A = this chain, B = another copy of it.
Amino acid sequence: MNEFELIDLVLSTLGDTASGDPLVLGPGDDSAAVLVPAGSLLVSSIDSLLADVHFPADAPAALIGYRSLMVSLSDLAAMGAEASHVLVSLTLNTVDAAWVRQFALGMREAALSTGVKIAGGNISRGPLAIHVSVHGFCPPADLLRRDTAQVGDQVFVTGALGGAAAAVAEGFAAVKDVDPDAVTPLQQRYFKPQARLSAGKTLRGTAHAAIDVSDGLLQDLGHLMKASDLQARIDSSLVPVFPGADLAQALHGGDDYELLFTAAAMPAQLGVAVSRIGELVSGSGILVDGKQVTADGYRHF
């Protein structure tokens, strides 16, 4: 099976998630072409997920495919953007048609549940990795940025944290033995994160600043505070801890893909639980329970 046959297999598996509005031209040409709504900005991000760094290489392919798309889409949720389409570059060491089909099925499931289209991609031979470029639309005035938090804002987070970290606490070996048809709640947190796209859109005009929790609550909050030049004061007893995880995992663990945002007051219904965990004052850095902390989380180097 050569690369063109592999691409045909992927496209037939993706089916209608690789065609239709807003794609004017989907996979198969040199580039895809997409209709952008008038008055919207294009919102774009790129993410790389490497085997045994960002996911266990021998996890079920469908879960790898699902997670790759969701993790990448989370960056659009953090901007308040409406997700529209993605481009996927897959590198594979060996050609395993069954693996590729399961991977594409996982991507398809994530695409169907978020309404995004898979506009194009690329397959080449190399160490297993998935590179996803995600795109969406947002009116200019509604963009949720990192650098626009305000003194006096409350700090909020969606969902509960630490579940993904608890799942990987014993190393990737602990999550690779997963039955795709019987994923435990902690495995679910790792393999099936939900990009908070709907919550992000609802926060347009309400949140002053936002980021997604990918590297860990404190590290991502640190990015927000650095960009906005403010200090966050967090009450650890208010941090929502996922059942089965502990507070340290909720504060430092990555891979949760919840939304961390600041606003003047508790927002209206977001379709997901929201916790107020602290507030913003003049200054810099983060205090947890009154003590200055280092904003640490996952670092690549």
Give A contacts to B, CB under 8 Å: 1-3, 6, 24-25, 28-36, 38, 40-48, 50, 53-54, 75-76, 78-79, 81, 85, 87-89, 91, 95, 119-127, 129, 131, 133-136, 138, 140, 143, 145-147, 210-212, 227, 299-301
User: Which residue in chain B gives the minimum CB-CB distance to A200?
Assistant: B30
Residues of B within 8 A of A91 (CB): 48, 50, 129
Known: A3-B299, A89-B131. A126 touches B48 (CB 8 A): yes
Cα(A34)–Cα(B38), bound, Å:
13
A31, B76: Cβ atoms under 8 Å? yes
Known: A3-B299, A32-B44, A299-B3. A53 touches B131 (CB 8 A): no
User: Which residue in chain B gives the minimum CB-CB distance to A125?
Assistant: B300
Q: Would you mind naming 12 contact pairs between A and B with Cβ atoms under 8 Å apart?
A: A3-B300, A24-B140, A25-B143, A30-B75, A31-B78, A31-B134, A33-B138, A38-B38, A44-B119, A48-B89, A48-B91, A129-B129
User: Which residue in chain B gives the minimum CB-CB distance to A91?
Assistant: B48
Closest 7 CB pairs of A and B: A133-B133, A46-B87, A30-B78, A31-B45, A131-B131, A50-B126, A30-B75
Cα(A210)–Cα(B32), bound, Å:
14
Cα(A53)–Cα(B124), bound, Å:
9
A31, B87: Cβ atoms under 8 Å? no
Cα(A6)–Cα(B120), bound, Å:
29
Residues of B within 8 A of A24 (CB): 41, 140, 143
Query: Chain B CB within 10 Å — which of A30, A43, A300 has the most?
Result: A30
Cα(A38)–Cα(B44), bound, Å:
18
